[in-house]
Structure 1
Amino acid sequence: MRALLVVNPAATTTSARTREVLAHALASDLKLEVAETKYRGHARDLARQATEGGETELVVALGGDGTVNEVVNGLLTSGPDPDSHPRLAVVPGGSTNVFARALGLPNDVVEATGALLDALRDRSERTVGLGLASGTPGSKDEGAPPRWFTFCAGFGFDAGVVGRVEQQRERGKRSTHALYVRQFVRQYLGEQNRRHGSVTLELPGGADGAPEVVEDLVMSIICNTAPWTYLGNRPIYPSPRASFDAGLDLFALGRLSASAVARYGTQLLTSTPHRGPRGKHVVSLHDLTEFTLHSQAPLPFQMDGDHLGLRTSVTFTGVRRALRVIV
């Protein structure tokens, strides 16, 4: 099998020696080409070139969730077509590795490599659904290019936290869970509308054709799988039923007062695969095919932990059976 290994040399939990050993192990079973990323978006470009070349059957992403996201967007440049695109394989090298862990892979480079080699020999794979975010027709963001995400997106508060973390990383800080907690606190203290948010959810019309609208949301998290993220080794489940085999799930809050943060924060930390946060300020929807989030003022937007700037409107689509993954 002809394969491309896309390596992020800045991956948080890998060293040059680890990457060399990994490449050697994969080369024993594959006709392997290795390419290191050199700039933001390079992994996407490498995966797109491999797809367009028509000879590569497998693209292996070594890095964190951001690297995986770029590779997926490169593989799906021309749209979802599992039968014609190269398969995807993931070796976790970031600080959290949500997508890899959601697939059931070990959160260790060596163990994950062993699991990948076993899966290749057994020809074990699955086809997963993905999320697609695009500009909403008629909005200021209508021309925003569509982009795929593998496990989550956020519009509003949580994306602001991600943006703060990226700023700290650009200043040389390591991406740790403690860093996320600190930036969460700072984002909360700087939040102007804790009781009445500016996000509006619009769902497609029902039998009467009128769209269903939910207003004044403070934060919104879109999940393509569960868990949403990890705090250390603790999985967090705002949408426990989210699945690669279904549409998208939405978890949103209508209030971020001190009491609401204490209540729903505790529920998130104690959430399980069978029970997520509940309450009168919670909006929890499962298996959505399409919906739109609007805001009068531009809000932070993130996908798979990658901050993408400010948006006023984003349309989300759940696409089933979009990509084949070795697992």
Structure 2
Amino acid sequence: MEAARRFESIVIIFNPNSTGDAPELAEQLKGRLAELLSYPVEIRLQPTEHAGHAVDLAREAASGGGRVLVVSVSGDGGYNEVVNGVMQSGNSDAVCAVMAAGNANDHRRTVGTKPLEEAIAEGRVRHIDLLRIDTGAGEESGGAYAHSYIGFGLTPVVAVDLEKGSKGSMKEMLTVVRTFSKFEPFEIKHEGGKRRKLDSLIFANIPEMAKYATLSEADEQPRDGKFEVILFPHMSKWRILLLAARAATKGLGDQPSVSRYEFTTLDPMPYQIDGEVKSVSANTAVRIRSVPRALATIG
């Protein structure tokens, strides 16, 4: 951890059409920071206008250089956009933070240490690892960063159906049950041509996911240059349910940790990255790697 940081500007990014209370929380944060900070600083509210806009806003905020703090008032998906925008800016002095205003808020719940406005006033910046996924030819082709996890198989399929349906614990549960009953396994190919049929493959930078599941016994502060690989080989659905119940109660226990993982898709498939669903084509090389201490953060 470095010396206390004084910021030259603070940009608070939020979705004005959020189904939650993001606009109100953003206004409250701005007011509290104006009261708490002991030095003059520009604090600007920046609403998004469409999906993906937070990437552009965060990149623009950080591209000017200097000690800028970019805060995402959102859930995991909105924060993912802000992190990617700041990483694209190339500004090594830029810092990211998130105020929870989403559904799961896995990253904030797991990594947060104190109320955000207090942490910003104290100015204690720390660096944590990111995950990076590259798809296709070349190390930098189709690359994106994840602050928490990247999931293939059951995870993104459920996420797609949740987005089509309604929020709320009972409705979410019914959607998960319906999707699970129709779910089919997927196949990937590892180096040397070995094929594996799987139900789920998750690369986790934090030990918790989807509000309830404990994936591993990893350190809650991801800064060891590795990530956990949680792999479910294809099995009967009742056995998957038992594993899910274990994750929601006792946790899955120790999982293998690596700094890099590679495979090739055999069919087009979706994947989930910090709550956002994307897709990758068939016969595509996929590379997941840890980027040690890449993200300067606060909170």
Q: Secondary structure at the match of 2:99?
A: strand
Provide the rounded CA distance (Å) in 2 between the counterparts of 1:190 and 1:53: 49
**Partner residue in 1 for 2:187:** 198
**Partner residue in 2 for 1:248:** 227
In the alignment, does 2:210 pair up with 1:237? no
Alignment map for 1:181-196 (pairs within 5 Å):
181-193=173-185
- Alpha-carbon contact 1:199-1:219 (below 8 Å) kept: no
**Partner residue in 1 for 2:204:** 223
Alignment map for 1:46-61 (pairs within 5 Å):
46-55=57-66, 57-61=68-72
Alignment map for 1:150-189 (pairs within 5 Å):
150-168=147-165, 173=166, 175-189=167-181
Give the structure-1-normalised TM-score: 0.78
CA separation of 1:9/1:122 partners in 2, compared to 1, >3 Å: closer, same or farther? Answer: same
**Partner residue in 2 for 1:145:** 142
Q: Secondary structure at the match of 2:49?
A: coil
CA separation of 1:295/1:178 partners in 2, compared to 1, >3 Å: closer, same or farther? Answer: farther
- Alpha-carbon contact 1:227-1:240 (below 8 Å) kept: no
Q: Secondary structure at the match of 1:266?
A: helix
Instruction: Determine which of 28, 43, 59 is the counterpart of 1:21.
Output: 28
Instruction: Determine which of 78, 83, 87 is the counterpart of 1:72.
Output: 83
One-letter amino acid of the structure 1 residue matched with residue 272 of structure 2: Q
Give per-residue Cα distances to partners, 1:108-147, cap 9 Å, x unaligned: xxxxxxx223223322221000000111438xxx995211
Provide the rounded CA distance (Å) in 2 between the counterparts of 1:237 and 1:311: 30
- Alpha-carbon contact 2:16-2:23 (below 8 Å) kept: yes
One-letter amino acid of the structure 1 residue matched with residue 196 of structure 2: E
Instruction: Determine which of 108, 113, 117 is the counterpart of 1:100.
Output: 108
**Partner residue in 2 for 1:294:** 264
Provide the rounded CA distance (Å) in 2 between the counterparts of 1:118 and 1:67: 22
Provide the rounded CA distance (Å) in 2 between the counterparts of 1:3 and 1:66: 20
Over aligned residue pairs, what C-alpha RMSD do you find? 2.5
**Partner residue in 2 for 1:39:** 50
Shift in Å, 1:165: 1.4
Give the structure-2-normalised TM-score: 0.85
Provide the rounded CA distance (Å) in 2 between the counterparts of 1:55 and 1:46: 16
**Partner residue in 2 for 1:285:** 256
**Partner residue in 2 for 1:123:** 123
- Alpha-carbon contact 1:4-1:56 (below 8 Å) kept: no
CA separation of 1:15/1:147 partners in 2, compared to 1, >3 Å: closer, same or farther? Answer: closer
- Alpha-carbon contact 1:289-1:318 (below 8 Å) kept: yes
**Partner residue in 2 for 1:9:** 16
CA separation of 1:134/1:9 partners in 2, compared to 1, >3 Å: closer, same or farther? Answer: same
CA separation of 1:146/1:85 partners in 2, compared to 1, >3 Å: closer, same or farther? Answer: farther
In the alignment, does 2:295 pair up with 1:318? no
Structure 2: tracts of 5 or more residues without a match:
1-6
Q: How many residues are treated as equivalent by the alignment?
A: 284
- Alpha-carbon contact 2:106-2:211 (below 8 Å) kept: yes
One-letter amino acid of the structure 2 residue matched with residue 297 of structure 1: D
Provide the rounded CA distance (Å) in 1 between the counterparts of 2:290 and 2:265: 21
Shift in Å, 1:238: 2.0
Q: Secondary structure at the match of 1:262?
A: helix
- Alpha-carbon contact 1:238-1:271 (below 8 Å) kept: no
